[in-house]
């Protein structure tokens, strides 16, 4: 589990093609690696991945073809990625509960400077739209955000300067594609309601 509060922006320093997927080495400058062990989960652009090797300022993960098919932002060497270590039970929950299991890929419609903040408009896949609610939570590329407005499959969030400074979201533009994870609670409520019918 994660919180959607990004600890560092890392870089895909190396990419190796492997049978069944990719092996990526992710370089980090601020992510504290001292308590990370082999097999630990680290969210990379909102995707929960397993550390298969560790160095002082980098870690390596294997990414399956299935994961690559369902997500964006993990295939380009040199790309910047949002990083977060898995939540410990004693940690503060600053964002919302995030599983690191991407539900779908959205399309950025607009990214507008409002002065003190930025408005990000995204179109979600139709199958996810019913889970997105105004004042609810959404994860975009691993970042926990509050939904301000929803209309059909389109929704808007506001980004404050701190979020832009500390994440890769500042590089988004119309036609960017983003990893989306819906609120975990919404997923379970929908499942319970459908099971009662």
Per-residue pLDDT of the chain (197 residues; tens, 9 = 90+): 999 999 999 999 999 999 889 999 999 999 999 999 999 999 999 999 999 999 989 999 999 999 999 999 999 999 999 999 999 888 888 889 899 999 999 999 999 999 999 999 999 999 999 999 999 999 999 999 999 999 999 999 999 999 999 999 999 999 999 999 999 888 888 888 888 76
Are 61 and 111 in a shared domain? no
pTM comes to 0.93
Asked if the structure places residue 114 within a domain, the reply is yes
For residue 98, the 8-state DSSP code is B
Q: What are the tokens at 35?
A: 């308590």
Instruction: Say which CATH number the domain at 139 has.
Output: 2.40.30.20
Are 127 and 78 in a shared domain? no
Are 69 and 109 in a shared domain? no
Asked if the structure places residue 92 within a domain, the reply is no
Q: 170 burial class (0-12, 13-18, 19+ CB within 10 angstroms)?
A: middle
Are 79 and 114 in a shared domain? no
Note down the domain range covering 145: 104-195
Q: What's the pLDDT score for residue 197? A: 64
Domain count, the chain: 2
b (16+ CB within 10 A) / e for 184-193? bebbeeeeee
Are 186 and 138 in a shared domain? yes
């Amino acid at each position: 589990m994660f919180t959607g509060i990004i600890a560092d922006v890392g870089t895909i320093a190396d990419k190796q093609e492997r049978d069944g997927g990719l092996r990526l080495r992710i370089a980090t400058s601020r992510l504290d690696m001292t308590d990370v062990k082999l097999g630990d989960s680290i969210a990379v652009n909102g995707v929960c991945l397993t550390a298969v090797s560790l160095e002082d300022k980098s870690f390596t993960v294997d990414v399956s073809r299935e994961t690559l098919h369902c997500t964006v932002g993990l295939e380009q060497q040199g790309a910047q990625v949002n990083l977060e270590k898995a939540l410990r039970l004693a940690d503060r929950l600053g964002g919302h509960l995030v599983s690191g299991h991407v539900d779908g890929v959205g399309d950025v419609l607009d990214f507008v400077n409002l002065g003190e903040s930025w408005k990000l408009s995204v179109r979600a896949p139709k199958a996810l739209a019913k889970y997105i609610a105004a004042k609810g939570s959404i994860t975009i590329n691993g970042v926990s955000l509050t939904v301000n407005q929803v209309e059909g499959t389109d929704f808007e969030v506001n980004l404050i300067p701190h979020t832009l400074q500390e994440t890769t979201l500042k590089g988004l533009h119309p036609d960017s594609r983003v990893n989306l994870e819906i609120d975990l609670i919404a997923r379970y409520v929908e499942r319970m309601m459908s099971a009662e019918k």
